[in-house]
Amino acid sequence: MESITIIAIGGNQIADAKEKIDINSQLFQVQKTIHLISEFIDKNPGLFIIRHLRS
């Protein structure tokens, strides 16, 4: 399984990210999740750190 951790810095972006993105996506959800991350970053400028973790 691969999980994606998002750290959003500034404002309420951390709460927004948790609502919009499944942090522990299963493999079949990863592509959809990456698309949501791209949309989220486009709509919320700021500093984002995205880490891909494989267990």
Alpha-helical segments (H) within the chain: 13-20, 27-43
Q: Supply the pLDDT for residue 11.
A: 53
pLDDT per residue over 25-35, tens digit each? 555 566 677 77
Residues 6+ apart with CB under 8 A from 10: 46, 47
pLDDT per residue over 4-55, tens digit each? 666 555 555 555 555 555 555 555 566 677 777 777 777 765 655 555 555 4
Helices then strands (H, E): number in the chain? 2, 2
End-to-end CA distance of the chain: 6
Q: Supply the pLDDT for residue 38.
A: 75
**pTM, full prediction:** 0.28
> Which DSSP category does 25 fall into?
-
